[in-house]
Amino acid sequence: MSGLESTNAGMAERARFASRRVLTDAPFLAAANGRTPSHRPVWFMRQAGRSLPEYRKIRAGIGMLESCFDPALVSEITMQPVRRHGVDAAILFSDIVVPLKAAGIDLDIVAGTGPVVANPVRSIGDVAALPRLVPEEVGAVAEAVRLLTVELGSTPLIGFAGAPFTLASYLVEGGPSRNHERTKALMHSDPKTWHALLSTLADTTITFLQAQLHAGVDAVQLFDSWAGALSLAEYREFVLPHSERVFAEIQSAGVPRIHFGVGTGELLGAMGEAGADVVGVDWRIPLDVAARRVGPGKALQGNLDPSVLFAGPAAVEKQVRRIVSEADTAIASGTPGHIFNLGHGVLPDTDPGVLTAVVELVHSL
Amino acid sequence: MSGLESTNAGMAERARFASRRVLTDAPFLAAANGRTPSHRPVWFMRQAGRSLPEYRKIRAGIGMLESCFDPALVSEITMQPVRRHGVDAAILFSDIVVPLKAAGIDLDIVAGTGPVVANPVRSIGDVAALPRLVPEEVGAVAEAVRLLTVELGSTPLIGFAGAPFTLASYLVEGGPSRNHERTKALMHSDPKTWHALLSTLADTTITFLQAQLHAGVDAVQLFDSWAGALSLAEYREFVLPHSERVFAEIQSAGVPRIHFGVGTGELLGAMGEAGADVVGVDWRIPLDVAARRVGPGKALQGNLDPSVLFAGPAAVEKQVRRIVSEADTAIASGTPGHIFNLGHGVLPDTDPGVLTAVVELVHSL
């Protein structure tokens, strides 16, 4: 391909995302892109959710999946923590299994349990029978994104999707799992079926993220929630190629790509290699240590232990200051940026006032 | 203290444990003590338990805690995997909360849930009110050990106890917890109460282990099951001093001390420093990597992923051979020994025939 063709292709690609707002001054995007933000950006995984009384009120009597396919409700729920806490980014309210449900897989989210899949996927025949997601099936999600790009003003919107491995775990186990034994059994005993499954799920994730990108999200976060259950060798052989393809396929959108999983201390380097611009870190690893594992050129996001939010203002302040200091050490050694966040999602019993205070504290430092 | 006094004190101390069998040829003890075993020893965490039909039969209609205080039943359950699999060590059938129950704390083990504590411990008053364990209260456990030292012949018996942090998590949360938020809140918000609690629980653990040592166990394993939820900084400040005291207080028994927790990749060095002779490693870290973290002079135990046992014989053999090879790399670099084990407990649905095959394979390599 000549340079000119390459440029033309790039222009055509960018034109597909022409509706995106220009938010270059947003601290969240500056930090993610390795520029110096006007203040340290902060948002919280699961900031839209059960910790907020206004969330519990608006969700009363409405099922989780029903909520995720109601554009006005998704928009309102996504906005709630932005209004209340003044966070530097919104994250689309959704659930890991939304694209699977949209594609027609028979599943539901059961309160107190999580996703329950009617027919677990454990054979090559099961994989072949999986329905493929077409963009129209997540039209409600795209519509929510369009509503939010208007509503949010200058606050960036982060798109949301589960990574192929985590989606696979739900499908193979039939629901949430503590040990993922059927999932691991499948990958080790029948790699061909495993890779077929993950390839199919990567297609689903790509379609879901592209729908969000075309509708105007300003960044994406790929959640590989359960990847921390794997050894590095398993991750490299059975997971990385598929997550890599997801990131590669959305690269042309030109927005920051965040990758996160809990308990991933051994995997941080590989998760960065998958194609992330920003690597999310849980609370087990100090950010300066994480920076050495992730390697150069990638910003970090994290990593306050959500349990510390229950320990009172003095403890919260001490830990926030420690994290900011460790992030600054990483930045001094070449890490391009830091987005303050928790090391996992907000716990339902969290006092939302504590979250607001964390935003104010991070902005003041 | 003069050398003579020191020697006399040592002889007196050893006399307290005079009933212990002499099993110096046992491969398990050789590997733990840094001598060359006649074959590579293997046992499995939770080898006595629900994977065995003979266990499910003998436990039918008998509650978990009731079982743990019935010497004949404890002895029989402990023996079952030794008879069936030919493992190189037995581990006393017990539960983390047994010494708490024995001391008089109001708790029960609820099937499908785990331990449930009637009155969670969250204030300095709660800590002061905790009953202290006296050795007579675990007389049934000591009696089981005495029965086993006869029954086991030349197979070593490993004593069992929960570490202070993991006991504290059950008491503070009131039961099993995914996030340990109340536990972490207490340690960060009220370190004085926290350390008082852990000091009390260290006393309990010491009393429980000494009762087992006096009755004749040949080694002990201290389970800090939930320690992997902590950062290294938290572990060092809030946990290590108390686990260190437990190991120091039982050092004079002269038996190998094993320390294990799941998800402890970041903590392996500190868990060795606590005073372990053998550090247990979960499946996330290859043993040669673990050896570098643990440091010299400590044997390793582990680390087959219990989920791999569901993946069929070819996958199991491949992973067993990999682990043995990684252990040999560690030994070539100075690690004094390797005890083959899982990286976590046997899962209830495991086919016991697969466990027997692993024992045979490890012994053949």
Read off the pLDDT of residues B79-112 as tens digits, 9 standing for 90 and up.
999 999 999 999 999 999 999 999 999 999 998 8
Q: Are B361 and B320 in contact (CB under 8 A)?
A: yes
B360/B356 Cα distance (integer angstroms):
6
Read off the pLDDT of residues B278-306 as tens digits, 9 standing for 90 and up.
999 999 999 999 999 998 999 999 999 99
* Ramachandran quadrant class, B278 (left: phi over 0; alpha: psi -120 to 50; beta: rest): beta
**Half-sphere exposure (Cβ direction) of B278: Cα atoms closer than 13 Å:** 28
Q: Are A323 and A287 in contact (CB under 8 A)?
A: yes
For A169, the token pair is: 């775990």
Do the Cβ atoms of A308 and B185 come within 8 Å? Answer: yes
CATH topology of domain A20-364: TIM Barrel (3.20.20)
Residue A4, pLDDT score: 38
From B289, which residue of chain A is nearest by alpha-carbon distance?
Answer: A266
B53/B60 Cα distance (integer angstroms):
11
**Paired sense of beta strands B107-110 and B114-117, if any:** antiparallel
A75/A144 Cα distance (integer angstroms):
5
3-state DSSP assignment of residue B206:
helix
B158/B217 Cα distance (integer angstroms):
6
Residues 6 or more apart from A222 whose CB is under 8 A from it? A161, A162, A163, A205, A209, A243, A246, A247, A257, A258, A259, A260, A276
B126/A97 Cα distance (integer angstroms):
43
A352/A343 Cα distance (integer angstroms):
17
A15/A221 Cα distance (integer angstroms):
22
Sheet hosting strand B338-342, strand order edge to edge: B90-91, B157-162, B219-223, B257-260, B278-280, B299-304, B338-342
Q: Are A239 and A48 in contact (CB under 8 A)?
A: no
N-terminal to C-terminal alpha carbon distance within chain B:
48
Å between A328 CA and nearest CA of chain B: 18
Q: Are B243 and B163 in contact (CB under 8 A)?
A: yes
- The answer on pLDDT for B17 being more than 60 is no
For A90, the token pair is: 């919104």
Residues 6 or more apart from B357 whose CB is under 8 A from it? B313, B316
DSSP A32-64: HTTSPPSS--B--TT-SSTT-HHHHHHHTT--H
CB-nearest partner of A347 from B179, B187, B308? B179
Å between B158 CA and nearest CA of chain A: 26
DSSP B102-122: HHT--EEEETTTEEEESS---
Residues 6 or more apart from A287 whose CB is under 8 A from it? A281, A300, A302, A303, A323, A326, A327, A329, A330, A335, A338
Read off the pLDDT of residues B35-45 as tens digits, 9 standing for 90 and up.
999 999 999 99
**Please, what is the average pLDDT of chain B?**
94
Within a 10 A sphere around the Cβ of B363, how many other Cβ atoms?
16
* H or E element at residue B96: none
The CA-based angle B297-B299-B302, given to 5 degrees, is 155
Å between B26 CA and nearest CA of chain A: 32
Asked if B146 is an active-site residue, the reply is: no
Residues 6 or more apart from A252 whose CB is under 8 A from it? A10, A13, A14
Phi, psi of A199, deg, nearest 5: -65, -45
Do the Cβ atoms of A181 and B230 come within 8 Å? Answer: no
Which residues in chain A have Cβ-Cβ distances shorter than 8 Å to B228? Answer: 263, 284
Residues of chain A with pLDDT under 50: 1-12, 14-15, 18
Asked if B46 is an active-site residue, the reply is: yes
Residue A14, pLDDT score: 47
B218/B157 Cα distance (integer angstroms):
5
Nearest in space to B138 (alpha carbons), one of B164, B90, B103 = B103
- The answer on pLDDT for B182 being more than 60 is yes
Q: Are B187 and B226 in contact (CB under 8 A)?
A: no
- Mutate: best of A50, A283, A284, partner B, most B CBs <10 A: A284
- Name the active-site residue from B20, B55, B88, B170: B170
For B104, the token pair is: 């008089």
B75/B16 Cα distance (integer angstroms):
23
Q: How confident is the model at residue B19 (pLDDT cuts 50, 70, 90)?
A: low
DSSP B305-329: -GGGGGS-HHHHHHHHHHHHHHHHH
Q: Are B239 and B198 in contact (CB under 8 A)?
A: yes
My answer on whether omega of the bond before A8 falls inside 30° of 0, hence cis, is: no
3-state DSSP assignment of residue A361:
helix
CA A262 to chain centre: 12
Residue B15, pLDDT score: 47
Q: Is A269 exposed, middle or buried (0-12, 13-18, 19+ CB in 10 A)?
A: middle
**Paired sense of beta strands B338-342 and B299-304, if any:** parallel
A212/A209 Cα distance (integer angstroms):
5
B313/A33 Cα distance (integer angstroms):
48
- The answer on pLDDT for B211 being more than 80 is yes
**Within the 2-41 window of chain A, which residues sit less than 8 Å (CB to CB) from chain B?**
none
3-state DSSP assignment of residue B304:
strand
Do the Cβ atoms of B185 and A312 come within 8 Å? Answer: yes
B176 close to A (CB below 8 A): no
Which residues in chain B have Cβ-Cβ distances shorter than 8 Å to A265? Answer: 265-266
B172/B133 Cα distance (integer angstroms):
18
A249/B321 Cα distance (integer angstroms):
38
From B227, which residue of chain A is nearest by alpha-carbon distance?
Answer: A284
A71/A145 Cα distance (integer angstroms):
8
Q: Are A283 and B231 in contact (CB under 8 A)?
A: yes
- Name the active-site residue from A59, A182, A236, A292: A59
B24/B26 Cα distance (integer angstroms):
6
Residue B8, pLDDT score: 45
Å between B44 CA and nearest CA of chain A: 17
Å between A177 CA and nearest CA of chain B: 12
A237/A141 Cα distance (integer angstroms):
32
Domain boundaries, chain A: 20-364
- The answer on pLDDT for B11 being more than 80 is no
Residue B130, pLDDT score: 97
For A326, the token pair is: 């460790």
B230 close to A (CB below 8 A): yes
**Half-sphere exposure (Cβ direction) of A191: Cα atoms closer than 13 Å:** 7
Specify the CATH class of B41-364 in words. alpha beta
**Within the 181-200 window of chain A, which residues sit less than 8 Å (CB to CB) from chain B?**
181-189
Asked if B95 is an active-site residue, the reply is: yes
For B76, the token pair is: 């029989």
Residues 6 or more apart from B66 whose CB is under 8 A from it? none
Which residues in chain A have Cβ-Cβ distances shorter than 8 Å to B284? Answer: 228, 230-232, 266
**Within the 320-359 window of chain B, which residues sit less than 8 Å (CB to CB) from chain A?**
344, 347, 349
B198/A287 Cα distance (integer angstroms):
29
